[in-house]
Structure 1
C-alpha cells in the first residue's frame, strides 16, 4: 500500500529533533514500538553537530521528520547541516528568540523545502500533536488526550487555548496541527491527509487565509464527503460583506459547517465528538422551567439552521397523560413537577418517537425537589442508544458542573447555557443541510438547450476589438438568448406592477478566492431602505441549488414567494441556473447585474441590466483548461460522447453523476461472478454505500469516473426510459499526489465492442489534463483480455514479486502527447 505524501509528517518512522531550548516533547518520548527519535541539543556559540547515524535513517533511507526549534539567526546553518539527511517533512517551531527578519526567514524556508522536496510546517509553528503515538512535537506543555477529532489552526494562540479547554472538558484529539507561517505544506494537503486518516472521525478548522480557492475547496469537499468538518474563520472585520458571504457559500457547497464565534467552536467539537447526525432541522425542547426554554427557542427564528418541531396528535396525547393539568402539549414541553427518572424517560420517549422531531434539547435548572442525579443517570443511559441526537443543558455551576461531566463522559454533550446548547443542535442541522448541497451537480443539458458558445464568444471578441469592457443593450440581449436565459429586457413597466411588487436584483460578481458568486436580493431604490438581504451561492447552479438560493433572500420569502405565479417562479430559477453557466463558460465576464426585476404572469423581466468584462482578456475556452476561474469544477460536458453499438443500439459515454448511484449498483449486481472477481478481486456481489459514494460523488478537479449508459424501458415506471450502466472506468488519485489508480469493467453482454478502449482513452486524456505523472492498476495475471487491451494502449506490464498472481499495469504520462493514446 502506497504511503500518503503527508505520512512522514503524521506517521513518522524516524524523527530528528534539533533545539536550543527545552521542549515539552521530552516528557512523552516515543516507546520502542513508536518512531525512532534522535535529539540534538544546540549549544550557544558552538557549532551544530548532528550524529553521522540517525535512529531509523540511513544513507539509503531518507529521514522522515525533522523538528527544529533554534534561534532564527542560526536557522540557515541548521538547514545546511540538515540537508544531507533529506528529510521528507519538517516542523519549524517558534523559538524563544525574536526573529528580526521574518520575511527573509520565510523565503529561506520556502526555497530550502522546495529544493529538497520537503514538506514544511512553519516557520513560527506551534507544532503537531499525535496523541495515539505519544508524540508531542509542539510547544504545548502536555500531550493532549487521545480522541477522534482533528484540530487544525493557523494560529498558535488558538491552538494553545483549545488544548487547555479540551483538557478541562475531557475532549480528545486524533491530531492537533498549528500551521504557523506556511511555506510548502498547505492547508489543502493537511485536509487531504485527515480525510483518509483512520484515527480521525471529524475535523475542526480555524482559518485566517485560505489561499487558492480551488485547492481549498477540492480538499474540503473531499474531507467533508466522508467526515464532518467545522470551520471558524477570522477576519470578518477586515473584509467586505460580499467576501464573507462568498466564504459562507463556499462552505455550504463543500458540505462543511461554519461557526461564527470561538465559543461556538467548542460547542461544535462537543456535538461532533459524541452525537449521531440528525436527518433534519426540527428541534423539540424539554425543560423543567419556562425561562430557559424561551431563551433556547428565541434562536429558532428566521434564518437560523433549526426550527421548532410540530408535534403529531399521538405525541400530544401521550404528553397530556404525563404533564400536570393545564400544561401545554405543544413544543416546548415544560413541566414544573419534580422530575424523576421514570418521568424523564417517559417524556423523552414520547418526543423521540415523533417522526416530526429530528433532535431533542433537554434543559434542566437546579431544583431541590427533584433527584437530578437520577435524572442525569437516566439521560446518560438513554442518549447513546437512540437514533436521534439528545443535547442537554444543565444551568448553573456549583451543583450542576459534576452532572455535566457525567453526561459528557457518557457520550451526550452537556452545556451551561440554553443558547450554546441550541446552537450546538444548529451545527448538526447545518451539517445535514450542507451535505445535501455537496451532492449537487449541474443539470444535464436538455435536448436542444445547450448554450451557443460559439455565438457568445464571438460577441465578447467583438466588444474587445472595439476597446470596450461593457456590453451594449443589443449585445446583452444576444448573449442572454445564446444561453437560453428566460429574462426579457424592457424599458417600461405598468404602474400597477410598480405599486404591488418589490423588485429583485440578480447579480454575479467575481470573488478573489472562489470565482463567480451569484446573489439574489431586493432591488431598485427600495434596496437603500431595506438594506442588504441577498442570498448567495457559488456558480455553477442547478434547479435545486437555485431554489435554495432564492429561499435565502428575505425579500423573496416574505414578499414575493406567495405572489409570483408558478410559471414565473420556475422561469426565475432557470435565469439563475443559466446565468451561472454563462459565467462558468465565459471567464471574461467580471460582473452581471439585472436590477430591478419584476414579474408578469409568465416570466420575470428586467428594466435595467449591465454586463462588464474583466480588464484583461481571459482564455476563451475554460473547458480545455479545467475551469481555472471556478472554485468548483463544473460538470465536464466535453467528455460526453454519443456511441453506436452493434445491432443498432445507441448509448452515451459520459462522466458519472450522483444520481447514477442506483444504476451503478444494478450494474455491479448484474456482472457475472468472474467479471466481478476480476474487477474487485473478491466475491462481493454489490457495492457498499461508501464505495457507491466514492464512485459517484466525484470532484472533477482531482479525479474522474466515466460510464457508458444505454436506455431501456423501466417496468417499475410504466415503461419509461431509464439510463442503464453497461461500462465503468475511473481513477482515484494516489496518496503520493503524483499518480492515480485506475479500474475498468464492462458488462458481460457488452464486451468485445470496443467500449473498454473508448473508456480508457478518455481516462488517459483526463489524467494528462489534471497533471498526473502516471496511472496504474493491479490486474490479475489470468485476466488476459485486460492485459491485452492495456498493452495495445501503451501500458507497461510489471510482475509483482510479492504476489505472482497479479500484474502492475501502468502508463507514464510525462511528456506523452495527447494524441498518442
Structure 2
C-alpha cells in the first residue's frame, strides 16, 4: 500500500539521486505565477511605460494597452468581460485620485494579479490607498502588488513590469526588496558589473502580496538559484520564518535588514533576528555594500564545508588587511597548513617566500606557478577554501594569471575567491573572472566578507538541517501540574512566581538545576572560582520568546553582539551550539567546565526551551548567577514573571502563536493498537528519526519502492533524510507509525522501529495539501494506512486547509481502494493516463466516519 506524491518527491530532492520521472511533473500553478509569468496582460496608464515599447513574445496577441486620459471615463474596450477566462495580470500606473474608479472597472475582468506602480505627484494618503486595495483584493480574489511598488522584472522572459527604462540582464539570482529605491540602485550597479537576475521585485505598501508569498514562489522557481532579500520589517514572524526556511532549504538566501535598533523592539531585537535567520538557514549581511558582494558570490557553485581559509598573495599588505577581520569571532579563520603542503610550497616558490599561510611570493607570477600553488592548497584537508589576493605587478602578465584563475576555479574541488586590487588595469580582469562564473572583488575586506558569507551559509544550513542519532523521548513534562502553578499565581493576582514555585516549575519540566540561596559554597558541588553564568528568557514584541546564555553575576554585560542567543524550540544539538557561540564559552567555559556539567547545561537549555514553548504565560525567566560544579548545576537566584494578559488558549491546540518557530506537536503523539491487541505508536516525525527512516526505506520491497518513488530507489540521500525529518510544522506534517522491537546492539533492550510514514505539504495555492503515504511490507492490511491518513486529515482540518489530494499510480489498487474507503474522490489525470488524482474536500470529510 504505497503512494508516490510527485511534488513531495520533487521537493525532497529525488532528482539529485538520479531518478527522473518518465513524464514531466505537472503541479498546481502558484498564485503568483500570474504576476511572474502572466499569460495575458492589460496595461492601464496615464503615461508611457517601458513595456509598451518592448513587449515579450509570449504576450504578443494577449496584451491590451489602454491610455487613460484626464477628465475622461475609463473604458475597457477590446478586453474580455466576466463571461470569458480570467485576466491574468493588470498593470496600473495612474493618479491615486482615480484608483477607486480603476479598480471598479477592473472588477468585471477578475484579474488574478494586479501591479500598482508609483506616480508623480504621489498619494496624499498612502495608508488609505493600501487599506482600500487590500479590501478590494480580498473581495475580488486578486493578488495585488503595491500600491507604490517598483514592480516586477523577469529578464529571461523580457518582461519589464516597472517604470525602469531598461530591464536587467538575465541571471540566476532573484532580488526581493521592500524598497523600490534599493531595487533601482542594485539594478544600476548590476548593469555596470554585468550581473544578471532571474527576477526583481519590490513590494511597495504590501496591501496583499508580502515577502513570505514571494519567497514561496521563488523557492520553486526553476530559473532562480539564489535569493537576495532586503527588508525593513517583518509583519508576521511565523509566516516569514516558515517561508524563509522553505526557500533556504533548497536555495541560498541572503538577508539585508534595515533598522538595527527599531523603536519599541528592545535592545536585543537585532540579535534575536539574527538568531531567527540562523535557524531558518539564511545568512544576514549588515551593510548595503555587502549586498553587492553577496549577489556576486551567490552565483558561485562551490560552497565551503568549513571556515578555514588559505591566503595566497603577491605581497604582504593585502593578506594582512584580510587577516585583520578574520579570527575566532569571525565566520572564517586562517587555516593551519599540513607539513606536506608546506614542503610542496617550499619546493614551488622562490627562496625567501612565505609559506605558512598566508602564502606570499615576491617573484613574478606565472600562470603555471599559480596553478600548482592552488592545487597544493586545495588538496590540503585542513583548508576549506582559498582566497587569492593580487596587486598590480609590472613584472607579471596579470591578464594571463586572471585567465588561468578563471580556468582553475571552474573545476576546483573547493571555493577559490579572488581579489584584484586596483581599478585602471585590474577592473577589466575582475570582469573577466566574473564573466567566467568565479567572483572577483576589489578589496581584501569585501573578499573576506564574501568568504564569510559562504561559510556562514554552511553553518546555518547545518543548524536548520542537521540530522541527529536516534534518541528516545524520556521524562515528559508534568504539564497539568505546571499549569496549575501558573493558575495559582494568577488567582493570587501575582505576576511574579515565588522561589518555591520556580523550583516546582523546574521540577515539572525536569530541569536539572538546583536552586539554593547559597549556591557558591562547596556543599553544592560548585567549583571555587567558577565563572558565573546566566540563562535569560525574554520576549521580543515581534519575534516572541528567545533564550540567551552568557555571563552572570553582578556587573555582567548583556551585549547584542554576543551570538549566545537562540529561539525555542531547542534540541540537544542546538542547545550545544547556543552555548558554544557565546563569548563566555570561548573565553572561559571551554577550558573550565567539566564534561558532565556541560551535558547538564545543554539538557537544562533544552528543557527550559520546552517550558517556554508549552507555557505561553511566561514573560521572562532569569537564572542568574548559575554555577557549574563537577557534576551538577546550582543557581543563586531564579525569577519567573508571567505575562500581563492571561493566555486564553493552549499553545499546542492553537499552533503556538506566541513563537516564531512551530515546535514539535506533542499532542499528536497517540498510542494505538492493532485489531489483535498489539500496540503501536502514531506520532509526528522527529529529527532523530533519520536513521530509523533510512532503515525503513531500505527494508521496503522492490514493488513498494516503485509504488512510492516511481523508481528503484534503494535508500534516501542525506538531503532527503533532512527534508523528511526536519519538518516545518507550520506548513506540513509527517506522521510515523512505530513499534517497539528488541535491539540486539543494546543487549536486546527495546527500541522504536518505523513501520509506516505519512506526510502532507501545503500546495502553492495555500488552501490545500498534497499527501504521501507508504506502509512497510510486513505491516500492510492491518488498518495502519487508514489510521495514518485520518491523522493527516484531522491535522489538515485544524490548520484550516480545505482539501487534501494525491496522485496515485493507476495500478496501485490497494491505495485507490483505501482512498475510496476514506471518502476520497478518484479522477483521471489528463496529462498522464498511468496516474489517478485522488482528493478529499476537508469540509465534507468532517461528516465522514468510514
TM-score range, shorter chain: over 0.9
Q: State the partner residue of 1:235.
A: 259
Aligned CA RMSD, in angstroms, stands at 2.4
Give the secondary structure class of the aligned counterpart of 1:810.
strand
Q: Contact 2:469/2:690 (CA < 8 Å) preserved in 1?
A: no
2:454 pairs with one of 428, 431, 436: 428
Query: Structure 1 residues 686, 513: closer, same or farther in 2, change over 3 A?
Result: same
Determine the structure 2 residue equivalent to 1:287.
Answer: 313
Q: Which residue of 1 aligns with 2:479?
A: 453
In structure 2, the CA distance between the partners of 1:529 and 1:353, relative to structure 1 (3 Å rule), is closer
CA distance in 2, matches of 1:119, 1:371: 56
Instruction: State which of 757, 760, 766 in structure 2 corresponds to 1:731.
Output: 760
Please, which of 401, 408, 418 is the counterpart of residue 375 of structure 1?
401
Contact persistence 1:257–1:427 (CA under 8 A): yes
Pair 495,792 (structure 1): closer, same or farther in 2 beyond 3 Å: closer
| Cα deviation 1:392-438 (Å, max 9, x = unaligned) | 00001001001111111111111000000000000000000000111
Alignment partner for residue 614 of structure 2, among 571, 577, 585?
Answer: 585
> What is the CA deviation profile of residues 47-91 of structure 1, one whole-angstrom value per residue up to 9, with x for unaligned ones?
22212425xx87331011111110001111111111110111111
Corresponding residue number in structure 2 for 1:144: 168
For 2:347, the equivalent position in structure 1 comes to 321
Per the alignment, residue 756 of structure 1 pairs with 785
Partner of 1:87: 111
1:536 to 559, 565, 577: 565
Distance 1:15 1:257 in 2: 36
Q: 1:688 to 1:27 in 2, by over 3 A?
A: farther
| Stretch of structure 1 that moved more, 172-181 or 571-580 | 571-580
How much has 1:501 moved relative to structure 2? 3.1
Aligned-pair distance for 1:710? 3.6
Structure 2 matches for 1:100-119, cutoff 5 A? 100-119=124-143
Structure 1 residue 654: deviation in Å?
Answer: 2.2
When residues 224 and 25 of structure 1 are mapped into structure 2, their CA distance, relative to the original with a 3 A threshold, is: same
Q: Does 2:515 align with 1:489?
A: yes
Counterpart selection for 1:309 from 332, 335, 351: 335
2:431 paired residue number: 405
Give how far 1:480 is off. 0.6
| CA distances 1:110-131 after superposition (whole Å, capped 9, x unpaired) | 1111110111110010100001
More moved, 165-174 vs 789-798 = 789-798
Alpha-carbon distance in 1 for matches of 2:135, 2:347: 73
Distance verdict in 2 for CA 1:815–1:463, change over 3 Å:
farther
Say which SS state the counterpart of residue 302 (structure 1) adopts.
Answer: coil
1:640–1:653 CA contact under 8 A, matched in 2: yes
Q: Aligned residue for 1:182?
A: 206
Pairwise CA distance, 1:783: 2.8
- Distance in 2 between the 1:493 and 1:517 partners? 26
Distance (whole Å) between structure 2 residues aligned to residue 22 and residue 530 of structure 1 = 52
Instruction: Give the one of 567, 575, 582 matched to 2:604.
Output: 575
Which of 197, 201, 209 pairs up with 1:173? 197
Contact 1:365 1:396 (C-alpha < 8 Å) held by counterparts = yes
Q: Select between 176-185 and 603-612 the one with higher mean Cα deviation.
A: 603-612
Among 701, 704, 710, the residue aligned to 2:733:
704
Alpha-carbon distance in 2 for matches of 1:531, 1:216: 22
Q: How far apart are residue 534 of structure 1 and its match?
A: 6.1
Residue equivalent to 1:636: 665
Per-residue CA distance 1:668-690 (angstroms, 9 max, x = gap) = 34333333333344555555665
8 Å Cα contact 1:17/1:38 also seen in 2 = yes
Would the alpha carbon gap of residues 801 and 373 (structure 1) be closer, same or farther in structure 2, given more than 3 Å must change?
Answer: closer
Deviations 1:593-635 (A, max 9, x none): 1111122222222111110111111145211111111111111
SS in 1 for 2:419: strand
Residue 715 to residue 271, structure 1, CA distance change in 2 (3 Å): farther
| 8 Å CA contact 2:115, 2:149 repeated in 1 | yes
In structure 1, C-alpha distance between the alignment counterparts of 2:254 and 2:167, rounded to whole Å: 23
Which of 5, 17, 24 aligns to 2:50? It is 24
Q: How far did residue 527 of structure 1 move?
A: 1.3
2:562 maps to 1:546? no
Three-state SS of the structure 1 residue aligned to 2:641 is strand
Whether the 8 Å contact between 1:394 and 1:404 is mirrored in structure 2 is yes
Distance 1:453 1:442, change over 3 A: farther
| 1:732/1:740 contact within 8 Å kept | yes
User: Which of the residues 819, 826, 841 maps onto 1:812?
Assistant: 841
Q: Do residues 251 (structure 1) and 280 (structure 2) align?
A: no
Q: Cα distance, 1:663 vs. partner? A: 3.8
Q: Is the 8 A contact 2:536 2:621 kept in 1?
A: yes
Does structure 2 retain, via aligned residues, the 8 Å contact 1:278–1:432? yes
- Structure 1 position 532, deviation (Å): 7.2
Tell me: CA distance 1:531–1:799, structure 2 relative to 1, closer, same or farther (3 Å): closer
Contact preservation (8 Å) 1:437, 1:545: yes
Change (3 A) 1:539 1:607: same
Structure 2 distance, partners of 1:531, 1:305, is 17
Picking from 221, 229, 241, the partner of 1:197 is 221
Aligned residue number for residue 372 of structure 2 = 346
Q: Deviations over 1:339-360 (max 9, x none)?
A: 1111111111110000111110
Q: For residues 374 and 701 of structure 1, do their structure 2 counterparts lie closer, same or farther at Cα, with a shift above 3 Å needed?
A: same
Deviation at 1:448, TM superposition (A): 4.6
User: 2:627 is matched with which residue?
Assistant: 598
User: 2:565 & 2:603 partners in 1: Cα distance?
Assistant: 16
**Equivalents in 1 of 2:418, 2:830: separation in Å?**
57
Q: Contact 1:30 / 1:36 at 8 angstroms: preserved in 2?
A: no
Supply the distance in 1 between the matched residues of 2:618 and 2:275 (Cα, whole angstroms).
20
Quote the Cα distance in structure 1 between the aligned partners of 2:833 and 2:374: 59
Task: Give the one of 89, 101, 124 matched to 1:77.
Answer: 101
In the aligned structure 2, how far is the partner of 1:260 from the partner of 1:806?
Answer: 49
- Cα 1:565/1:818, change in 2 over 3 Å: farther
Alpha-carbon distance, 1:271 to partner: 0.8
Report how far residue 693 of structure 1 moved: 4.3
Q: Which residue number in structure 1 is paired with residue 642 of structure 2?
A: 613
Q: Which residue of 2 aligns with 1:134?
A: 158
Secondary structure at the aligned position of 1:500 is classed as coil
Q: 2:591 is paired with a residue of what secondary structure?
A: coil
- Between stretches 418-427 and 445-454, larger displacement belongs to 445-454
Alignment pair present for 1:391 and 2:417:
yes
Quote the offset at 1:753 in angstroms. Answer: 1.4
Q: Residues of 2 paired with 1:673 and 1:699: CA distance? A: 30
Asked whether the equivalents of residues 527 and 628 of structure 2 are also in contact (C-alpha less than 8 Å), the reply is no
Q: Does 1:524 align with 2:553?
A: yes
Asked if the contact 1:768–1:818 (Cα under 8 Å) also holds between the matched residues in 2, the reply is no
User: Are the equivalent residues in 1 in contact too, given 2:271–2:563 (CA < 8 A)?
Assistant: no
Distance of 2:722 and 2:560 partners within structure 1:
41
Change beyond 3 A, Cα 1:75–1:494: closer
After superposition, what is the alpha-carbon deviation per residue over 1:364-409, rounded to whole angstroms, capped at 9, x for unaligned? 0011111111111110110010121110000010010011111111
State the shift of 1:23 in Å: 1.4
Unaligned runs of 5+ in 2: 1-25
Give 1:207's match in structure 2, choosing from 222, 231, 237: 231
Shift in CA distance, 107/464, structure 1 to aligned 2, threshold 3 Å: same
| Contact 1:30-1:37 at 8 Å conserved across structures | no
Equivalent position SS for 2:389: strand
Q: How many Å separate the matches in 2 of 1:143 and 1:300?
A: 38
What CA distance in whole angstroms lies between the structure 2 residues aligned with 1:485 and 1:166?
Answer: 53
Answer with 108-117 or 425-434: which moved more: 108-117
Given the alignment of the two structures, is residue 4 of structure 1 paired with residue 33 of structure 2, yes or no?
Answer: no
Do the aligned partners of 1:744 and 1:756 also contact (CA within 8 Å) in 2?
yes
User: Does the 8 A contact of 2:734 with 2:759 survive in 1?
Assistant: yes
Aligned length: 819
Report the equivalent of 1:62. Answer: 86
Q: Which has the higher contact order (CA 8 A, sep 6+)?
A: 2
